[in-house]
Amino acid sequence: MRPTPSFAPLPSSLPATVPFVGAEQMERTRGRPFAAWLGANELTLPPSPLVMEAMAKAARDEATFYPDPPAHFLRDALAAHHDLTPDQVLVGEGIDGLLGLTVRLFMAPGDVAVTSLGAYPTFNYHVAGFGGVLETVPYRDDREDVDALAARARETGARLVYLSNPDNPMGSWVSHADVQRLIDTVPDNCVVMLDEAYGEFHTDPQARTPRGFIRPNLLRLGTFSKAYGLAGMRVGYALGPADLIAGFDRIRNHFGVNRLAQAAGIAALADTAHLAGTLATIAAGRERLADIARASGVTPLPSATNFVTVDCGRDGDYARAVLREILARDIFIRMPGPAPLDRCIRISVGTDAELDMVAAALPEALAAAL
């Protein structure tokens, strides 16, 4: 037999473990399904009927044809939705895919990216994957600390700074003025990546990014996976100045965005009434989830998202035990990794029936973990 060829040095240096274990893999490992999936901040409500119709039509008429590489019609719809021009919009395979492309486009091996300790791990995965150096700053009062991010970027000559607003995993937010200050105080050759995956759920008008907001050093990232309920379809987008957006065409998988996903995105944007209903349902569910936490003797953090992060009131070991107890009660949730965020668990806003399960399981889990 011939020898096994080696990987290139950079991939060889990366961990061989699978970084992201999904809910179904957890079910297979434990040998039992979950009764509720509240761990990935998916929308457990149905998508718009118009979206379902658009997907059915595209399945019937178009599944056999390669997707349109520029996603022309979805890009136009997104441009109109965000008060931008089409050349300021790039449609991609979810924010995860766009994070990887952004790292690849701006960072050479050894370059620095700055993020918050405990923020979205997929960004960190891509930075490592392209040989970048990750610098982290702590959250401050459970919010991403824009001044610390900017300062660290200046100290390290960072190429990228990552900020999610609203934030995952804490559900918190910063004001648009804070975002502006970050943009204005990073070093000259640094791109601010503003992850707005949860942007539709903003509760504070001062935190919302104004329509049409573009800066030379800003890339905004949006998705149909959260408020539009299409996580399974893998479609997201980047908004930014046309010269940065055009750069992605040098490296992206041009035929990569599924045809049904493009059709679904167009229909989702058009059904504004459905989105309004979703946001109202989620707001009510978020309140109920906060009430469930308080009734169980623990503290829900304020949330501008479709999840509630609950401070279990003790240390990380306790919260990890609570998490295990909730999983054992067949509810899939997750929690932040590093201290001090790891005193919390994170629960997606589910349906009424799913929140009934949380209401039953949470007090039991908190007691069992003591």
Task: Pick out residues in 128-157 that bind a copy of itself (CB under 8 A).
Answer: 129
Cβ proximity to a copy of itself, 249 vs 315, nearer residue: 249
The reply on whether position 208 binds a copy of itself by CB under 8 A is no
How far is it, in rounded angstroms, from Cα 169 to Cα 159?
Answer: 24
Cβ proximity to a copy of itself, 96 vs 144, nearer residue: 96
Cβ proximity to a copy of itself, 247 vs 313, nearer residue: 247
Q: In sequence order, what are the beta bridge partners of 161?
A: 114, 192
Q: What's the min distance (Å) between Cβ of 52 and a copy of itself? A: 6
How far is it, in rounded angstroms, from Cα 301 to Cα 170?
Answer: 8
Options 66, 210, 211, 370; binder of a copy of itself; rule CB under 8 A = 66
Q: Judging by DSSP bridges, how do beta strands 218-223 and 191-195 pair with one another?
A: parallel
By the 8 A CB rule, do 87 and 242 touch? Answer: yes
Options 147, 253, 284, 353; binder of a copy of itself; rule CB under 8 A = 253
Count of residues in contact with a copy of itself, rule CB under 8 A:
96
The reply on whether position 243 binds a copy of itself by CB under 8 A is yes
The reply on whether position 127 binds a copy of itself by CB under 8 A is no
- HSE-up (13 A, CA, CB side) for residue 11: 4
SS3 breakdown of the chain: % helix, strand, coil, rounded to 5?
45, 15, 40
Long-range residue pairs from 8-11, CB within 8 A, at least 24 positions apart, any chain: 10/109, 10/130, 10/131, 11/129
How far is it, in rounded angstroms, from Cα 348 to Cα 307?
Answer: 4
Options 31, 64, 211, 370; binder of a copy of itself; rule CB under 8 A = 64
Q: What's the min distance (Å) between Cβ of 191 and a copy of itself? A: 5
Q: Residue count of the chain, please give it.
A: 370
3-state secondary structure of 135: strand
Q: What's the min distance (Å) between Cβ of 12 and a copy of itself? A: 9
Q: What's the min distance (Å) between Cβ of 346 and a copy of itself? A: 15
How far is it, in rounded angstroms, from Cα 302 to Cα 308?
Answer: 7
The reply on whether position 354 binds a copy of itself by CB under 8 A is no
Cβ proximity to a copy of itself, 112 vs 293, nearer residue: 112
71, with CB counted inside 10 A (0-12, 13-18, 19+), is buried
Site for a copy of itself in 82-101 (CB under 8 A): 93-94, 96-97, 100
The piece of 49-57, 113-121, 149-157, 166-174 that touches a copy of itself (CB under 8 A) is 49-57
The reply on whether position 31 binds a copy of itself by CB under 8 A is no
Residues 6+ apart with CB under 8 A from 349: 38, 282, 285, 286, 289, 306, 307, 308, 355
The reply on whether position 102 binds a copy of itself by CB under 8 A is no
The reply on whether position 352 binds a copy of itself by CB under 8 A is no
Options 35, 50, 69, 87; binder of a copy of itself; rule CB under 8 A = 69
Site for a copy of itself in 287-326 (CB under 8 A): none
